[in-house]
Structure 1
Amino acid sequence: MKELLLVCLGAMLVDNLLLAHYLGLDSLPDEPVSLRKVARSGLSVTLLMLVAAPLVYLVEAFIIARFDLWFARPIIILLVIAALIRIMGRWIRQLGNCAVTYSVLLGWALLTLAEGYSLGESLAYALGSGLGLTVVLVVLAGLLAELRLSNIPESFRGLPILFVVIGILALCFGGFCGMLRL
């Protein structure tokens, strides 16, 4: 149980999808959006990850590993994710940009498989990754809304200030690394 909690907290704080792997960076809004909408979008991706975790684990164990299809792993996982988004998209209206959702889910699935997690660890990693992504997206959306009201030099507007803020946020989240003993 302690190991699952460490995997979940590690995925949320230290191995964050957006801060450590830059997955989902395109999901940041260009214009001001309510924090509630950003949170719903992040929680929708979290739900998709939780549903996809057992599917990806089973596809890896019973199809990819059994038939030695490691070279086709990204394509097979992408097909599973596309089918899942197609099915779940009927109930989840907050998926937003599907290309961003596909890239986040594919990157997360490949990271999960690269770590060699068990089914329980995959679910913990999915929960931690999704909640970590949601927290960072909400914090960044709030910070970007505040920065729009600030007097920022012309050369730092747009992407430069975004990368500065993400870098500082990554340093803050990276400080948890020693606490979790990963």
Structure 2
Amino acid sequence: MEFPQLRMESTSAQIGIQTKNAKNYIQQPMADLSIEQPKAELSIITTSPRLTIDQSQARADVDLKSISQRVDEFSQKGYQDLLAGIARRVNQGNQLMKIENSGNPIVSQAKQNSEKPAKEFGITFVPSYGSIKINYEPAKVYIEAKENKPKIDVKLNKPNVQYEQGNVEIYLQKRNELKISVDFVDIKA
């Protein structure tokens, strides 16, 4: 026996897409830069060195004294000799007051007043050590520096931008279809 059989054949629709990419062109010009560096301000102040040499003691050691120094020495020596003379006379007067005590003060005083003191001999170095006084003050240097900051001028340049818009096209590449056919199939019972 033959039965009708339906056959359906379908194909789907296909969509086509065509794209054109966007294009972007960017050009960045370099910035204009100006730098100026002023010189630093420098000032230097110096004081002169100072050397002083005092040789008055060395000159006095070799008997090359100034008039004022000699007058001071002679007046000092005269005053000391005066005090020594007064002390000697007071001492001798006291001895004579006590003549009744043991001893012979008149003979000892006569001997003491008639004799000169013995001279002392010795080696001395002329001028004496350390008689020349040297003083040195070194020079002083004062340095003052003032820095000047750099002058920087920057001018920015804007970028050049060009843009081409992209595009997308969508279209139907293939239509959908449905085919229906009838076939007879022989079925044996």
TM-score normalised by length of structure 2: 0.19
The answer to which structure has the higher helix fraction is 1
Which structure has the larger Rg over C-alpha atoms? Answer: 2
Q: Which has the higher strand share?
A: 2
- If the length of structure 1 is used for normalisation, what is the TM-score? 0.19
Pick 1 or 2: higher relative contact order, CA cutoff 8 A, min separation 6: 2
